[in-house]
Amino acid sequence: MLRMGSLPQEFADGAGVRLDRRDPYLRLQSVTIYVRDLERSLEFYTEQLGFHLVFDARVQPGRRWVTVSPPDGSANLSLVAPEAGTEQHKLIGRQTQVSFVTEDVLAKFREWSKRGVRFQFTPRLKRLVQARGTGAGEAAAEHSPIWGGVYTRFRDVDGNSFSLLSFDEVTHAVESQRQAIAERQESERRAAQELEIATQVQARLFPQNQPALRTLEYAGVCHQARRVGGDYYDFLDLGGQRLGLVIGDIS
């Protein structure tokens, strides 16, 4: 059995695999969630949470591999049904360290609640602060927020619990940085594309053929300091075995 869902596409912001990178590509691939029944869990994650099926296959006799992912982002959840009595089976139904982030926790809370998702408590505001002392040996005098937002926890059909968080200061900072990098990469890509077009256009402006002369051998070539420059030359056939040479230089 092999079922493939909609695999993540390559996004302009770099969330997908980029083959034009110079440094080795690296991102979080998946987190393992232990469940009792793969078919029941797959229905929960796809129907109630709205996740996408990424991969579903039997990798060997008696072992099935199922991977799902939230609609946004690039991380995956690998659902595994371990054998009874194993250490992995004992982890089913416990609190996970997995957190999902959303722009509107309350809206997602209402949406999922209507679909039968069990929440441990209604969304509430939580703020963590980092204490910073003003000097050596002094008590913390200043508190700087490092995380603050609305959050709640929910459980899947096996009791595995997850956090649902709103965008906080750290997330906004990371998103802003990611968007800035994506915009710079897109700007560089467009600039390179436009430069290539300009190079091709300029190359066609130079003489494509040379008027034949019985008494003169000549040639012309232009080596730009950069891919596109302001220099220009041309050969003009004036008739009667006469030739006009045109040279231009923009300074």
Domains and CATH numbers, the chain: 1-92 (3.10.180.10), 93-167 (3.10.180.10), 187-248 (no CATH)
Specify whether the backbone of 144 is left (phi greater than 0), alpha (psi in -120 to 50) or beta: beta
Per-residue pLDDT, 173:
64
Distances (CA, A) of 233 to 181, 197, 202, 223, 249: 41, 20, 11, 12, 9
180, two tokens: 């800035």
Per-residue pLDDT, 62:
75
What number of CA atoms fall less than 13 Å from residue 43's CA on the CB side? 8
Position of tokens 């906004």? 172
pTM above 0.85, yes or no: no
Per-residue pLDDT, 219:
81
Per-residue pLDDT, 201:
75
Q: pLDDT in tens for each of the 251 residues of the chain? A: 445 454 444 444 444 555 566 778 788 889 999 999 999 999 999 999 999 999 998 877 778 889 999 998 778 999 999 999 999 999 999 999 999 988 889 999 999 999 999 999 999 987 665 555 555 444 444 555 555 678 999 999 999 999 998 875 555 666 677 778 888 888 888 888 888 887 777 777 777 778 888 888 888 887 776 667 767 778 887 887 888 888 877 66
Cα maximum dimension of the chain? 100
Give the list of residues 6+ apart from residue 77 with CB closer than 8 angstroms, or none: 30, 31, 32, 33, 45, 51, 67, 68, 69, 98
Per-residue pLDDT, 67:
95
44, two tokens: 């929960």
- Give the residues across from 233 on adjacent strands: 247
Give the list of residues 6+ apart from residue 88 with CB closer than 8 angstroms, or none: 34, 80, 82
SS (H, E, C) the chain: CEEECCCCCCCCCCCCCCCCCCCCCCCCCEEEEECCCHHHHHHHHHHHCCCEEEEEEEEECCEEEEEEECCCCCCEEEEECCCCCCCCHHHCCCEEEEEEEECCHHHHHHHHHHCCCEECCCCEEEEEEEEEECCCCCCEEEEEEEEEEEEEEEECCCCCEEEEEECCHHHHHHHHHHHHHHHHHHHHHHHHHHHHHHHHHHHHHCCCCCCCCCCCCCCCCCCCCCCCCCCEEEEEEEECCEEEEEEECCC
Per-residue pLDDT, 217:
81
Cβ burial 30-55 (10 Å sphere, 16+ → b, else e): eeebbbeeeeebbebbeebbebbbbb
